[in-house]
Structure 1
Amino acid sequence: MDEPVAVPESRGVHVELLGTLDLGPEIEGMAGRVLRMRKVTIDPGGVFGPLHDHVGRPGTVFILEGTITDHRDGAAVEYGPGPGWPEDHSTVHWLENTGTEPAVEISVDIVGEA
């Protein structure tokens, strides 16, 4: 059996809420759910953890600047400016910026009301 991978603590992550939309009045069966858009900046050497899933919180990511490494399923995939990765019910991952410049992403997901 493989040893579990140690995920570094979150550090150097800045999150700005850009907007939300209550989905209850928009789509039948979506009461209590919100479409959320955030701008996430990860400093060089920064980590967006801990290891987390997206069960009940599907989303997608677009990279505006820099590169972000997505760690999941024992693999590390680097994404640069442009389309990022999907976050569905089977996603279990953590992120990091191994570059020398800040990495900026736009994250759009569906979450429960806060």
Structure 2
Amino acid sequence: MSDEQVTPETRGVAVELLATVDLGSEIKGMEGHRLRMRMVTIEPGGVFGPVHDHKGRPGVVYVLQGTITDHRGGLSTDYGPGVGWPEDRNTLHWLENRGTVSAVEISVDVVRHE
């Protein structure tokens, strides 16, 4: 059974919006989109799920504290402080904190105005 089939729902996650930029007023053709920066905290045993994609919502993640396990394509990869990863249209994944301390990441992505 793959990771994607047993993904638990989100729990133990706090998301804080840090900043946004209206891209429509900055870049021609980007009307209706914004650049968003968030701080995501995943408590020990926490899960950022369920499985989700990033089609139309590309971004990058950088881990500040703790270790985040990224599950995608049946593989699990641990990312610790000072490491990041891209999230593009081919990303289909979920995240968890298997550690004993809170994991904190900075997530920057392009989203449609909500």
What is the TM-score of this pair, normalised by structure 1?
A: 0.96
Mapping for residues 6-17 of structure 1, pairs under 5 Å: 6-17=6-17
Structure 2 distance, partners of 1:7, 1:82, is 26
Structure 2 distance, partners of 1:22, 1:83, is 27
Q: Compute the displacement of 1:9 (Å).
A: 1.2
Map of 1:102 onto structure 2: 102
Please list the CA deviations of residues 48-106 of structure 1 after superposition, one character each: whole Å capped at 9, or x if unmatched.
00100000000000000000000001100000001221100000000000000000000
Aligned-pair RMSD on alpha carbons?
1.1
- Kindly indicate whether residue 46 of structure 2 is the aligned counterpart of residue 55 of structure 1: no
Identity of aligned residues (%): 65
Map of 1:33 onto structure 2: 33
Q: Compute the displacement of 1:5 (Å).
A: 2.0
Structure 1 unaligned blocks of 5 or more: none
More helix by share: 2
Secondary structure (helix, strand or coil) at the match of 2:100 reads coil
Structure 2 distance, partners of 1:106, 1:97, is 15
Q: Which amino acid aligns with 2:113?
A: E
Structure 1 segments of 4 or more deviating over 4 A?
none
Q: Which amino acid aligns with 2:27?
A: I
Structure 1 distance, partners of 2:16, 2:110, is 16
Structure 1 distance, partners of 2:94, 2:85, is 12
Q: Which amino acid aligns with 1:89?
A: R
Q: Compute the displacement of 1:25 (Å).
A: 1.1
Map of 1:65 onto structure 2: 65
Q: Compute the displacement of 1:109 (Å).
A: 0.1
Map of 1:80 onto structure 2: 80
